Amino acid sequence: MSLQVRTQVSLKPYNSFAVEAQASHFAEAQNDQQVREALAYAQAQQLPVLVLGGGSNLLLTADVQALVLRMGSRGIRLLSDDGEHVVIEAEAGEPWHPFVLWTLAQGLAGLENLSLIPGTVGAAPVQNIGAYGVELKDVFVGLTALDRRTGELHELTLHDCDFAYRDSLFKRENGHWLILRVRFALSRKATLHLDYGPVRQWLTEQGIAAPTALNVSQAICAIRSEKLPDPAVLGNAGSFFKNPLVSAEQAQRLRIEHADLVAYPQANGEVKLAAGWLIERAGWKGFREGDAGVHRLQALVLVNYGSATGSQLLALAQRIQADIKQRFAVDLEIEPNLL
């Protein structure tokens, strides 16, 4: 077997919260064959399998009695190009932000609003990652996934993946599919999304009147760097809570009490509230207890100041959820996967 399986491996280097946890078994797959070898090994050893990308959307609250399979496959391919519209395929193990930068370097637009999101290409569809008015589904063509129950490869379409806000088929059917490759529809003619958050303001301040996709990426990198901590410096998983969706009536009631409520009407009549605003208004911004805390610049981000455990971070998150429920009658949903 070409796959190397190690035992009792620390997962601290493999999760962006830098939480200490041990994996009873650990392997890294560089290709489809090694993925199959890993699944066969786990079956023979009667071990569950935890598939790991960049570990940037994960909170480990205990040691992992499983085969932790880290996806390490690399490769980017051009599948079609009609001069304006381009389809690109990337392997699951490709780091997300370098992949976005590669597409921009080729003169391709579409992923610029998703710049500087941590993680890997293969993990992106699971969460239907999104930022600054764009979601992965907006540029998604399809993907190749392994059915872990049958060992068969399947080509899944946009419709098959059933994407929703920070949600997908893969999140709801955890343990069923293993994503191997993802395909994206990009364009040489940019249709820019500038009106979500302070993107347009940053471009104006820089004197950029006719922005390119690369300019938008630069703006978003600058904005994210200002308000979001670097996981390499301070352990975190980015936004810890989803922006909650409420009825228009509930949003109106909240706005009567809080004139500065940050809210975004949705096409279906619901209203998306800014979870960070709710948490900050409740006084949690900058809160710290031991090494578990809420970031001082962004209330939506929980941080590990050094030696916080996953259980301590989860306990803090649950206290915040309870407080927001009591104050605003709004349920906050945790965004990272809990293990």
What pLDDT does 85 receive? Answer: 97
Are 179 and 125 in contact by the 8 Å Cβ rule? The answer is yes
The Cα 186–Cα 174 span in angstroms is: 29
The residues annotated as belonging to the active site are: 166, 239, 335
CA pseudo-torsion sign 239, 241, 247, 251: negative
What pLDDT does 195 receive? Answer: 86
Task: Name the CATH topology of 76-187.
Answer: 3.30.465
What pLDDT does 1 receive? Answer: 56
What pLDDT does 110 receive? Answer: 98
The Cα 129–Cα 141 span in angstroms is: 15
Q: Starting at the edge strand that comes first in sequence, how are the strands of the sheet with 235-239 ordered?
A: 235-239, 301-304, 292-294, 288-289
Tokens representing 94 are: 């490709």
CATH number belonging to the domain at 5-71, selected among 3.30.70.580, 3.40.605.10, 3.40.190.290, 3.30.43.10: 3.30.43.10
What pLDDT does 228 receive? Answer: 87
Q: How many residues does the chain have?
A: 339
The residue ranges of every structural domain in the chain are: 5-71, 76-187, 235-338
Q: 235-338 maps to which CATH number? A: 3.90.78.10
Tokens representing 265 are: 């009407």
Q: Mean pLDDT per segment of 10 residues, for the chain of length 339 residues?
A: 92 97 97 96 96 92 97 97 97 98 98 96 96 96 96 97 94 93 96 90 95 97 90 93 96 96 94 97 98 96 97 98 98 93
φ, ψ of residue 35 in degrees (nearest 5):
-60, -45
The Cα 51–Cα 15 span in angstroms is: 12
What pLDDT does 174 receive? Answer: 86
Whole-angstrom CA distances from 253 to 5, 138, 248, 249, 250 are 56, 32, 9, 6, 5
